[in-house]
Structure 1
Amino acid sequence: MTSTSTRRELWRERIADLWANTWRWVLAAFGAVTATYFILERGVVGGATFAVVVGALVIAAVLTTSTPLAIALFAMPGLLISQRIGLGGGDLSVSDAALAAAFGTALLLGHRPYSKPLRQLLLINLVYQFATLFTVVVNPYALNTIEWFHAWILVSGALIVGWALGAAGHARLALSLIVFTTCAFAMLTVVEAAFQYAVGNFGPATPSWPFSMHKNFIGTVLAFGAIIAYLNPDWVGWTKGWARFAFGLMAAGIVVAQSRQALIGLAAAIVVAVLRRSTTGRSRLVLLLLIPAAWLVISMVVDQIESQNRHNSVFQRVEWLREVYHFWRESPIFGHGLRYWYNPGELPYQPPQAELEVLASAGVVGLIGFLVMWIGVLVALWHVDPRFGTLAVAVLLSRFVQSQFDLFWVAVQVSVPFVVAGICLGAMDHERSTKEGPDELVTRVPLGRRVPFSAGVGWRR
């Protein structure tokens, strides 16, 4: 009788092991087929980027046995790729797909419970989600509902992904992957500028490989990497020489890309570093670097105004802002719906300014929720331990400042700073738990009774 029970248990264990590995083989086969599809559909050049991304995610899935958050780590470079996948006629980007894969992994395998600062940020984001729910109800179309969930993933989902990586002790690796990728983008941008300058073209330099990048996209992404390298928190552990090189390379990339909002956003982050100089070690003299940056931005704007070219970015933005304002007045309370510019007959472009975009999309109600979200997030992070909170505040403030002069709800440019903020909070919790040591073992007790799980820390039911 005993031997029969033992054999049954052995068979159950074998079946369980087989099933535990089956999903990896299925995912590997799916990844191979998908990569082949992209190469056949778009050619070697056009499909190579997607094939590499899919292959990386498949490798990460296989590695989850030894490194549970391998998929989330492998997704970090993918977060910086804005290229559209276009599966089934959709508008999904590589960044969205990478974030979705990382988010699923973080939910299933991430550390629990969440820290108090992270819970605060998630609740603050819910204020904005609740405010925009009205426009989803008032303007019933599919893309409106999809974008409502998408916006939540870009903020709360990104925070949870960053938190999971930081709390698991992967903060340095995750930030390194982001910075290494932005350094590669910066190198491509500088090389492109060198070729342009050699033939007398002194316009904005933007890479066209491995995918085409707009100057404001590349500038914003490089600003994120430059901020991380510039602050170089002590818990990351990079050498000063490497951090300075990375910062200089990405600052050069921003300059040759001629992205004005990226320069302004980077300046805002430097101001945060100076305000927290007791933690960052940055002297007030660093503010002198803002003088040439301000001169460069002002001179470019003045040149465009003096040119009287009605189609340059300055005059075009003024015209867009005027059109969006009149469009908003047609539905001032709840707006026209998220991503309304894809609907036939509506204003056919995304407003190039954050508050005006939210105002036209979600009305006054949505704008109030948007401002509450941003003010609440920055205030909450400002009260976090400066060793961890300074980087989070700097990168998010930089993004908010950038968005005053360009599009806001763009996948890469929203998700990356919130992932970085989540990494900071997770790293703080990881350091705290490491210093405190593992909790004492707790025996089962009747419901309602309390036993100590760590002396002087708290109680567990």
Structure 2
Amino acid sequence: MGRLLDRTLTLTVVGPLVVLVVLSVMAGYLAPSAAGRALALAAFVLFVTAAFAVPQAVLAVALVGAVATMRVPFFGGAMSYADLTMILGTLVALRFAPRRDDVELRRVLVAFAVYFGAIAVVVAANPSTDAVLEWLHRLVLVPGPLLVGVALVRTGAVDVALRAFVLVVGVVALGAVGFAVSSGGQPAYPFDINKNAAGLVMAFALVVTVAARHRLRWAPFLRHPVQGLLLAGLLATQSRGAALALALALVARAVLGASGGRGRQRAMAAGVVALVLMALVAVSVSERDLAPDASPGNAVATRAEVFGQALDLWREQPVLGAGVRYFTDPDLETSVAHNIVVNELGEAGVVGLAGVVLVLWVTWRAVRRSRSDLAMLGTMIFVVEVVAALLDVFWVAGRVGCAYVFIGMALAEARGHREPPASPARRYDARLDAGAA
């Protein structure tokens, strides 16, 4: 009876809306002068349809879309696909707003509200269009993704979303390997994605295959090759920050999650992988990187010069900084600092840095207190994100939102959650655990 009701609902509600989408697209072809409006109407109708009929799909796309940092052509290049999908996902996630008993989740949201208010003061002191837009943009980077992660748990779509994310990132990893091979070993920019951004999402995907493998429910013969592909893609990007962040996340898992014989075996394996990644990061430092001049390709000297410029601006205005996105001012002749501490001091002074530290500290305490089966996933993702933030730009589309979706999953208590039937992967792990004990 339930299936019949679902089919009836699909035919009577979803069917007409899909027909309307098709007609809108056809109108665009029949009336080229109104093609843009017709496509916009079609996209709006499609979103409304999905939001009510299959909200899980919109939420999952918000997570997977974090990989797509390319710019959307319809907004004059001012918005990325990652931001667009996250905004749409957040609108759907509002239906599953945090409940009163989501204590840790609420604490993180309150901490961000404090930071958001502090940045409002900074924007008021140093007003500009870029500053206001970036101030609003940060709503898309933290609270929105948190709500998306919670909604994925509440709608029971976590497993599907995690599998989709790993598979999509696997395609990006394959593109990175192909790029590296065809370019003779140059850093990979797969599908025009920045190498550091690509490396970081591969690190996230690897963490998922380690800390949430019980949700993926993939047998070892499938999971291990996927992990190998992701690791190869990460190395192809030559993103040292992402590799180091992944290594330290594995160390954190070994230290915080090891228990029993099987736990010690996993800790040793994680330690070996972490040491290998750290060694690769160390040997990748070239003579050009250590040269004293900031020549093109000299990452260390170039970043040191930008750090010095940011700190000089902070010394002039230590409390409120030089303003959000100060580096877009052509008169300053500088760029964004690839370090969350230095950049926050330059942009928002001591006020902004204190706000960021508050948000990160409350987030860390929340994931460590979580009773969810995804708590370790949230912990490892947090470590990856913070380490990468010390070595790269923090407030950018994709990376922050993606991390906070996973953290939102970890903070949402899945009441009524039932363990799935034992899959080959779970039976395999159970046999290993029994043997180790």
TM-score normalized by structure 1?
0.77
> CA separation in 2, counterparts of 1:107 and 1:365?
30
Residue 318 of structure 1 deviates from its aligned partner by 1.2
Question: Structure 1 vs Structure 2: percent identity of aligned residues?
Answer: 27
| 1:411 matched to 2:392 | no
Quick one: structure 1 residues 328 and 306, their matched pair in 2 at CA, closer, same or farther if it must change by over 3 Å?
Answer: closer
Residue 277 of structure 1 deviates from its aligned partner by 2.1
Matched AA of 1:356:
V
| 1:29 matched to 2:24 | yes
Matched AA of 1:277:
A
Question: Per-residue displacement from partner, 1:374-398 (whole Å, max 9, x unpaired)?
Answer: 1111122111126321110111210
Residue 216 of structure 1 deviates from its aligned partner by 1.0
Equivalent pair of 2:170/2:229 in contact (CA under 8 Å): yes
| 1:250 matched to 2:230 | yes
User: Which runs of no fewer than 5 residues in structure 1 stay unpaired?
Assistant: 1-16, 42-50, 436-461
> CA separation in 1, counterparts of 2:270 and 2:341?
30
Q: Which residue of 1 aligns with 2:354?
A: 368
User: Which runs of no fewer than 5 residues in structure 2 stay unpaired?
Assistant: 1-11, 419-437
Quick one: structure 1 residues 89 and 330, their matched pair in 2 at CA, closer, same or farther if it must change by over 3 Å?
Answer: farther
Q: Which residue of 1 aligns with 2:272?
A: 288
> CA separation in 1, counterparts of 2:95 and 2:19?
16
Residue 331 of structure 1 deviates from its aligned partner by 1.7
Residue 308 of structure 1 deviates from its aligned partner by 5.7
| 1:179 matched to 2:159 | no
Question: Per-residue displacement from partner, 1:435-456 (whole Å, max 9, x unpaired)?
Answer: 6xxxxxxxxxxxxxxxxxxxxx
Tell me, what secondary structure is at the counterpart of 2:111?
A: helix
Give me the CA root mean square deviation. 3.3
> CA separation in 2, counterparts of 1:423 and 1:24?
35
Question: Per-residue displacement from partner, 1:129-180 (whole Å, max 9, x unpaired)?
Answer: 1222220221122322222121122101100011101111111011112111
Equivalent pair of 1:233/1:388 in contact (CA under 8 Å): no
Find the partner of 1:317 among 303, 311, 322.
303
Q: Which residue of 2 aligns with 1:352?
A: 338
Tell me, what secondary structure is at the counterpart of 2:214?
A: coil
| Residues 322-401 of structure 1 aligned to structure 2 (within 5 Å) | 322-385=308-371, 387-401=373-387
Residue 310 of structure 1 deviates from its aligned partner by 3.4
Q: Which residue of 1 aligns with 2:199?
A: 219
Equivalent pair of 2:188/2:238 in contact (CA under 8 Å): yes
More helix by share: 2
Matched AA of 1:173:
V
Question: Per-residue displacement from partner, 1:346-384 (whole Å, max 9, x unpaired)?
Answer: 344211111111111111111011111111111221111
Q: Which has the larger radius of gyration?
A: 1
Q: Which residue of 1 aligns with 2:186?
A: 203
Residue 309 of structure 1 deviates from its aligned partner by 6.0
Quick one: structure 1 residues 285 and 223, their matched pair in 2 at CA, closer, same or farther if it must change by over 3 Å?
Answer: closer
Matched AA of 2:406:
V
Q: Which residue of 1 aligns with 2:114?
A: 127
Find the partner of 2:281 among 278, 285, 297.
297
Equivalent pair of 1:111/1:167 in contact (CA under 8 Å): no
Tell me, what secondary structure is at the counterpart of 2:142?
A: helix
Q: Which residue of 1 aligns with 2:410?
A: 424
Residue 31 of structure 1 deviates from its aligned partner by 11
* Paired residue total: 396
Tell me, what secondary structure is at the counterpart of 2:337?
A: coil
Matched AA of 1:75:
A
Tell me, what secondary structure is at the counterpart of 1:283?
A: helix
Equivalent pair of 1:232/1:243 in contact (CA under 8 Å): no
> CA separation in 1, counterparts of 2:238 and 2:246?
13
Quick one: structure 1 residues 106 and 21, their matched pair in 2 at CA, closer, same or farther if it must change by over 3 Å?
Answer: farther
